[in-house]
């Protein structure tokens, strides 16, 4: 059995697992990212855990280490000044990891990793063209064209959450206005609900709660998901004009609400889709488990290989 290590670096926690050829996470660990301000001790801990994971499954070697990280750059193998990490600067993960173990290290951003995980282990197996949208704190995306993740000239391709959906619309954390993310992220959904309800946005309203309200038949909550579905459906239909994918996958907390989002989303997608694409592209939910997708996606990157 060949094993691969998948590492998901979040601002708060780092999750890692050892993944077998069938996409099963045979063992996993986690530790606090935000306990570190320097790369070297952070990697020392990671590599200690990699040794433990290998011992646990009886593996004498691994095919590589895949890393999904905020601002992870596939071409350079570095994390470039990620605002939500306590370890600052341009971080060369490959170089640091190679002090411990001479294996391929492949790094990309978390949404790209999720897309590639779907390709290698999930519902996108065998698909040459698809797009993944991840809804969460922000809105991420990963795009596969001709069976390869699109990284673009900079390594930073696939940021459809920052497609401007509404010119001069809501203020975005990126400094611009009207990005898709400001409408269909967890925060955007809360804002829409509060606007429809006519109440100020407060920290005790969550997208999860709005999901529960919708399932109880709350009309404002239902209208919120309809609005979000319409906005996301438009963005997805627009993305089809780019790469004509055979499927668009959706994952992340807010997407778990199910029908209150998916029904208006699919209706809007059909409505906004250019006629030449009618019937050629399905909206599907990710087939990977929410608590596994990040590790599996990171591990999947190793199958793609490094550009270096």
The binding site for its own copies (CB under 8 A) comprises 127-129, 143, 145-146, 148, 150-160, 162-164, 166-167, 174-176, 234, 237-239, 241-246, 272, 274-277, 280-281
For residue 252, the minimal CB distance to its own copies (Å) is: 18
Check if the beta carbon of residue 302 is closer than 8 Å to that of residue 4.
Answer: yes
Give residue for tokens 């990309």.
108
- Sign of the alpha-carbon dihedral angle for 6, 7, 10, 15: positive
Closest to its own copies by CB, 36 vs 183, is 183
For residue 168, the minimal CB distance to its own copies (Å) is: 10
DSSP strand pairing (130-135 vs 247-251)? parallel
Of 306, 303, 259, 304, nearest in space to 283 by CA: 259
Cβ neighbors of 70 (< 8 A, separation 6 or more) are 9, 10, 11, 79, 82, 83, 84, 85, 109, 110
Closest to its own copies by CB, 6 vs 77, is 77
For residue 126, the minimal CB distance to its own copies (Å) is: 12
Buried b (16+ CB within 10 A) or exposed e, 223-234: bbbbbbbbbbbb
Phi, psi of 64, rounded to the nearest 5 degrees: 165, 175
For residue 130, the minimal CB distance to its own copies (Å) is: 8
- Mapping DSSP to helix (H, G, I), strand (E, B) and coil, where does residue 65 land? strand
Closest to its own copies by CB, 174 vs 290, is 174
For residue 74, the minimal CB distance to its own copies (Å) is: 11
Closest to its own copies by CB, 34 vs 238, is 238
Closest to its own copies by CB, 22 vs 168, is 168
For residue 3, the minimal CB distance to its own copies (Å) is: 29
Closest to its own copies by CB, 3 vs 74, is 74
């Amino acid at each position: 059995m060949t094993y691969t290590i998948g590492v998901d670096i979040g601002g708060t926690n780092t999750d890692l697992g050892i993944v077998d050829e069938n996409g099963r996470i045979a063992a996993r660990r986690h530790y606090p990212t935000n306990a570190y301000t320097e790369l070297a001790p952070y990697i020392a801990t990671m590599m200690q855990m990699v040794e433990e994971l290998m011992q646990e499954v009886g593996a004498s070697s691994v095919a590589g280490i895949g890393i999904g990280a905020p601002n992870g750059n596939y071409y350079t193998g570095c994390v470039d000044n990620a605002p939500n990490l306590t370890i600052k600067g341009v971080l060369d993960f490959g170089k640091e990891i190679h002090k411990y173990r001479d294996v391929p290290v492949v790094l990309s951003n978390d949404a790209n990793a999720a897309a590639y995980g779907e390709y290698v282990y999930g519902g996108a197996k065998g698909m040459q063209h698809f797009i993944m949208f991840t809804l969460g704190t922000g809105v991420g995306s990963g795009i596969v064209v001709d069976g390869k993740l699109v990284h673009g000239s900079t390594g930073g391709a696939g940021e459809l959450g920052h497609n401007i959906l509404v010119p001069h619309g809501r203020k975005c954390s990126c400094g611009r206005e009207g990005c898709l993310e400001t409408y269909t992220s967890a925060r955007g959904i809360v804002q829409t609900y509060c606007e429809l309800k006519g109440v100020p946005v407060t920290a005790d309203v969550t997208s999860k709660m709005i999901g529960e309200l919708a399932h109880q038949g709350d009309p404002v909550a239902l209208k919120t998901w309809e609005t979000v579905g319409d906005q996301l459906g438009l963005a997805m239909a627009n993305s089809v004009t780019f790469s004509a994918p055979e499927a668009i996958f959706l994952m992340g907390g807010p997407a778990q609400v199910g029908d209150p989002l998916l029904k208006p989303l699919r209706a809007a997608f059909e409505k906004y889709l250019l006629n030449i694409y009618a019937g050629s592209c399905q909206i599907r939910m990710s087939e990977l488990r929410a608590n596994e997708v990040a590790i599996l996606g990171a591990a999947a990157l190793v199958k793609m290989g490094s550009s270096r």
